Structure 1
Amino acid sequence: MRKNPPENACHGDGDQPETICVMGIGNVLWADEGFGVRCIEALQQRYEFAPHVSLIDGGTQGLYLIQHVQEATRLLIFDAVDYGLAPGTLKLVEDDEVPRFMGAKKMSLHQTGFQEVLSLAMLTEKYPRSVLLIGCQPEYLEDYGGSLRPRVKLALEDALAHGLATLREWGARPTLRTQPLSMHDAVTFCELDLLRYEDERPSETEACRSGDDRFFPATPQTA
């Protein structure tokens, strides 16, 4: 997990400071499973935000993310979620409904962990005032070292548009980045940058793409 921490938080209602957390979760090594992290990567590369906004690459950290959820007054989540819809379809879910949707049909262990994070935040009465899940229906997952499929990569742009509209309403003050993002400030690892990741991917003859057949039986790729 890598995090871009807030500097000085603005004050919201009561004594709790206004803190906006924008989180992408998932595993970039399994094709469309990396959708959420790729959203965070693109958002940070293109925009700057108010000091009370944190961008977090949550990866597959599960319960280790609890403190960020409990500290947030507003939480925006990007993730690949199996809604049973057409690949690339976005679905927006809000507030108390978010845990239910994240646990409806788990694709991987990271979703089990994050559903528990949200439930624990509710149990401890430290659930954000506002929560928005921007979920994208994946097309293909069992492609180890693979990248987003075209339809999912296209949906990323719509997801960012929805996210930016919400962040403006929340007072995150997104502005186009005027200076290139440095490697030091990036919340995602530069070695896994989307363009570099796709460009340097080994060929199928050089590296296994389907994982261990005991856990991920090889299936024909759809793209």
Structure 2
Amino acid sequence: MPTSSQADRILVLGIGNILWADEGFGVRAVEEFHRRYAVPENITILDGGTQGLYLVNYLEDADRLIVFDAIDYGLEPGQLKVVRDEEVPRFTGAKKMSLHQTGFQEVISAADLLGRCPKHLALIGCQPLDLQDWGGPLTAPVRDQINPAVALAVDILAEWGVEAAPRTASLPESERLLANDIDHIHYEMRARPA
């Protein structure tokens, strides 16, 4: 397994659309990672949402990349699968795995064409159940995989020689990854009928 030095720039990224039920898995997973763990300064934690090609600049600045995303692997709903390095499709001709309008493969491909793709990639994907529930919450099988996905990211960072330390105090509201009541707890309270 490749190890990292403190000088390596690492991006932990969640992508997805929280408005389409399980499509929001990646955003919710990176949000939970940020809520639970403090990381060294060489790590950037980012809610990439549905920014598509706008994410290329962030990839260009990273030596290593961990991505959380809802991925159609053709598995049972809620199953996690990790794809790494050369297994991550980099070109648009490859089988489209991401569920976004501009697939994450296009983002990786653009960074690769610019000669600035991260040296090491880890894609933590969760098989969605429902992508049609506009405004709805994550389904139970997908929501139940957030903690295991976060644990996988912590393990990958450890393989790279980086420690994600559990936070000893609650994350202040001003430091949340998502604000304006679209964070997971507030959004889910609104999305579920009373």
Fold agreement, TM-score > 0.5? yes
Structure 1 residue 85: deviation in Å? 0.8
1:35 matches 2:30: no
Structure 1 residue 100: deviation in Å? 5.3
Alignment gaps of 5+ in structure 1? 1-10, 205-223
Bigger radius of gyration among the two: 1
**Counterpart in the other structure of 2:143:** 153
1:122 matches 2:116: no
Structure 1 residue 202: deviation in Å? 7.1
**Counterpart in the other structure of 2:45:** 55
For 2:19 and 2:183, the matched residues in 1 are separated by 12
Task: Tell whether the 8 Å contact from 1:38 to 1:194 is kept in structure 2 after alignment.
Answer: yes
**Counterpart in the other structure of 1:182:** 172
Partner of 1:184: helix, strand, or coil? helix
TM-score (norm 2): 0.89
Equivalent residue in structure 2 for 1:26, among 9, 13, 16: 16
For 2:180 and 2:166, the matched residues in 1 are separated by 20
**Counterpart in the other structure of 1:3:** none
Structure 1 residue 83: deviation in Å? 0.9
Partner of 2:11: helix, strand, or coil? strand
**Counterpart in the other structure of 1:104:** 96
For 1:179 and 1:126, the matched residues in 2 are separated by 36
Looking at both structures, which has the greater relative contact order when contacts are Cα pairs under 8 Å and sequence separation is at least 6?
A: 2
Task: Tell whether the 8 Å contact from 2:90 to 2:109 is kept in structure 1 after alignment.
Answer: no
Task: Tell whether the 8 Å contact from 1:50 to 1:174 is kept in structure 2 after alignment.
Answer: yes
Q: Name the amino acid aligned to 2:123.
A: L
Partner of 1:93: helix, strand, or coil? strand
**Counterpart in the other structure of 2:58:** 68
TM-score (norm 1): 0.78
Identity %: 43
Partner of 2:174: helix, strand, or coil? coil
Task: Tell whether the 8 Å contact from 2:136 to 2:192 is kept in structure 1 after alignment.
Answer: no
Structure 1 residue 189: deviation in Å? 2.3
Equivalent residue in structure 1 for 2:129, among 132, 139, 145: 139
Task: Tell whether the 8 Å contact from 2:90 to 2:106 is kept in structure 1 after alignment.
Answer: no
Alignment gaps of 5+ in structure 2? none
Equivalent residue in structure 1 for 2:160, among 170, 178, 181: 170
Partner of 1:83: helix, strand, or coil? coil
Q: Name the amino acid aligned to 2:183.
A: D
Task: Tell whether the 8 Å contact from 1:27 to 1:37 is kept in structure 2 after alignment.
Answer: yes
**Counterpart in the other structure of 1:90:** 80
